[in-house]
Amino acid sequence: MLDVCLLGTGGMMPLPYRWLTSLMMRYNGHSILIDCGEGTQIAMREKGWSPNPIDIICFTHFHADHISGLPGMLLNLGNSDRTEPLLLIGPKGLERVVGNLRVIAPELPFEIRFTEITENEQTFEFDGFRLKAFKVNHSMVCYGYTMEIDRAGRFDKEKAESLSIPIKMWSRLQKGETITDGDITYTPDMVLGDARKGLKVTYCTDTRPTDSLREAAKDTDLLILEGMYGDPEEAEKARQKKHMTMQEAAQIAKESGTKQLWLTHYSPAMNWPDNYKDAVKAIFKDAHISKDGRSIELNFEDDAT
Amino acid sequence: MLDVCLLGTGGMMPLPYRWLTSLMMRYNGHSILIDCGEGTQIAMREKGWSPNPIDIICFTHFHADHISGLPGMLLNLGNSDRTEPLLLIGPKGLERVVGNLRVIAPELPFEIRFTEITENEQTFEFDGFRLKAFKVNHSMVCYGYTMEIDRAGRFDKEKAESLSIPIKMWSRLQKGETITDGDITYTPDMVLGDARKGLKVTYCTDTRPTDSLREAAKDTDLLILEGMYGDPEEAEKARQKKHMTMQEAAQIAKESGTKQLWLTHYSPAMNWPDNYKDAVKAIFKDAHISKDGRSIELNFEDDAT
């Protein structure tokens, strides 16, 4: 239903055995990419996910490891015969930065639209899902993102009957349509129970722990955070360079009520992220030291209850 | 002596099993890179060659697959504690293109110098070697390059003695130094025989066969050419897209007097370049369908004769 893949798990520079961190999500015919460093198009091909349906690329910030793969990705999309517009979302300056990078990808068979984030927290609504950007604390302006999918309430036959809603309208109302028939307007809530729990994925790299991140992480189904450093001796370095340690990420997960934590964005100097598995799990047991290509299909909770 | 490595062999886009075409050469403490597409820094690391000593990066042209990896490579060089200047050589517009790409790599601990090629053929002299750029015929301005290393004549004791060159000067003169002693100037040719055969490597992708390429390929020790297409049915496509077929490249090798041909820059649609091995070898038997990381150490010919 909602497919999520962490295409790469590296920070700073791509390595022969570790692509740069990038998240791809597929939902309802749309594909969304968050960050696109050097090699992301190769990681995507390695995973076997098509670039063609990518509608939206979000950027956390403009450090090269998060955007250097964009020109190649745009050409790749062009070569896949994409003609529909592509939306780019990112910090202020996005259009200028992308304009510069497009010096080597000037001609594309599709339109690029830009949305620059101007607030500390900003919500973008799409077809059945929304993306929320939240500002974090890095060495340059940087945002995390949540992906949220709402789930309508269950169809309530008794309610529909008690309100005398014509049966022929039930299906359309249930699908979310509002129907006007003469003087009467029928709305979906007339046939539906209370909204049910939807899905939420929270993604954030390149930051110190912040309240905005703790808030965005609340009750998320999947929390994806950077674990740039694992060695406790590097805690001070993490503070200086405005990154998080694995332990700090696990602490956020523990307080968030999330179902699972995926760590990513490892320092290129960290050869064996797994070395810190036990230390991380001691803080939050459903933590995963992700490897490139880690993916999951998230579904709505069983609604039999 | 002269180490040559074809870091990648792909054209157009990087693939999980094929890096983009890029040539690295190491000589006399210098490293030279020709072209730097997306992933070249990873290919270099995979090969185990250090980016740090790279003095010169040459660009054939500004299609993304030949330059998209530059921002990451520059940051990589910066992270390797390079502080010496880096020279970039390429077609007119180089400084503008690189300036644009550096929007995501603005701060570097070394200076970048630019040399834009203004002639159809241009020679650049360095410490013991020279690079020659020659214009070819692609869909945008594009150059091939030759790397040439001269070899001085053998030390000629009889000549030195007959000219009464003081013995204490022999070694310095032999090393190429010119020495002035009072009114007399001693030059290396006074102690050396005729110049001997040096080394020459010719590299060219993204072109139709041209006279400039045939000229540059003459008597080269190693000829590296694109083989974008292999299927004879794609000959017309090669003409239209201003590329070469493997057979056309082999024909140039045959006429050049080169010792060996390495083919590279395969179309991403070509899954098995080896399929065309026999057809290519029928034209020029010392042709190699290169794979990523193919390398060789070239040495001066045995001078015992």
pLDDT digits (tens, 9 = 90+) for B95-131: 999 999 999 999 999 999 999 999 999 999 998 899 9
**Across the interface, do B72 and A64 touch by the CB < 8 Å criterion?**
yes
Among B67-76, B137-146, B203-212, B294-303, which stretch is predicted with the lowest mean pLDDT? B294-303
Locus of tokens 């992270």:
B79
Nearest CA in chain B to A74: B64
pLDDT score of B305: 44
Q: Does B78 touch chain A (CB under 8 A)?
A: no
CA distance A148 to A31: 14
Residues B11-64 have pLDDT tens digits of 999 999 999 999 999 999 999 999 999 999 999 999 999 999 999 999 999 999
Q: What's the mean pLDDT when you consider all of chain B? A: 95
Contacts of B63 in chain A (CB under 8 A): 104
What are B27's strand-pairing partners? B30
CA distance A82 to A108: 9
A127 catalytic residue (yes or no): no
Candidates A62, A15, A11, A22; CA nearest to A237 is: A11
Contacts of A101 in chain B (CB under 8 A): 100-101, 103-104
Candidates A223, A233, A218; CA nearest to A276 is: A233
Tokens of A45: 């091909």
Q: Does A11 touch chain B (CB under 8 A)?
A: no
Contacts of A39 in chain B (CB under 8 A): 14, 38-39, 42
**Across the interface, do A100 and B105 touch by the CB < 8 Å criterion?**
no
Q: A134-144 burial by CB neighbour count: b if 16+ within 10 A, else e?
A: bbbebeebbbb
pLDDT score of A179: 93
Asked if B228 contacts B265 with a C-beta cutoff of 8 angstroms, the reply is: yes
- Cα within 13 Å of Cα(B248), Cβ side: 28
CATH of span A2-150+199-298? 3.60.15.10
Quote the pTM value. 0.92
Contacts of B76 in chain A (CB under 8 A): 13
pLDDT score of A211: 97
What's the CA angle centered on A14, arms B104 and A240, to 5 degrees?
Answer: 65
Residues B204-257 have pLDDT tens digits of 999 999 999 999 999 999 999 999 999 999 999 999 999 999 999 999 999 999
- CA torsion sign for B290, B245, B283, B253 is negative
Judged on CB neighbours under 10 Å (0-12, 13-18, 19+), B124 is middle
Tokens of A210: 């912040």
Strand ranges for chain A from DSSP E: 2-8, 22-27, 30-34, 54-58, 86-91, 112-117, 121-125, 130-135, 143-151, 179-181, 184-186, 196-204, 222-226, 261-264, 287-289, 294-298
pLDDT score of A152: 87
Q: Where in chain B is the domain with CATH 3.60.15.10?
A: 2-152+195-298
Assigned superfamily of B2-152+195-298: Ribonuclease Z/Hydroxyacylglutathione hydrolase-like (3.60.15.10)
Q: Does B72 touch chain A (CB under 8 A)?
A: yes
> Mean pLDDT, 10 residues at a time, over chain A (305 residues)?
97 97 96 98 97 96 98 96 95 98 96 98 95 96 97 91 92 90 91 92 97 97 97 94 97 96 97 97 98 97 62
Beta strands B2-8 and B196-204 are: unpaired
Contacts of B64 in chain A (CB under 8 A): 71-72, 75, 104-105
Measured from the Cβ of residue B101, the count of other Cβ atoms closer than 10 Å reads 23
**Across the interface, do A103 and B105 touch by the CB < 8 Å criterion?**
no
Helix, strand or coil, per DSSP, at residue A53 = coil
Asked if A64 contacts B71 with a C-beta cutoff of 8 angstroms, the reply is: yes
Q: Does B11 touch chain A (CB under 8 A)?
A: no
Nearest CA in chain B to A105: B64
pLDDT score of B302: 75
Tokens of A204: 């954030």
Q: Does A108 touch chain B (CB under 8 A)?
A: no
CA distance A115 to B269: 35
Q: Where in chain A is the domain with CATH 3.60.15.10?
A: 2-150+199-298
Judged on CB neighbours under 10 Å (0-12, 13-18, 19+), A254 is middle
Amino acid at B247: Q
Inter-CA distances, A10 with A153, A227, B198, Å: 40, 10, 44
Asked if B279 contacts B291 with a C-beta cutoff of 8 angstroms, the reply is: no
Residues of chain B above pLDDT 70, percent: 99
Q: How many residues does chain A have?
A: 305
Candidates A233, A201, A226; CA nearest to A289 is: A226
Q: A109-123 burial by CB neighbour count: b if 16+ within 10 A, else e?
A: eeebeebebeeeebe
Nearest CA in chain B to A45: B16
Instruction: Kindly report the nearest CA distance between residue A67 and chain B, in angstroms.
Output: 8
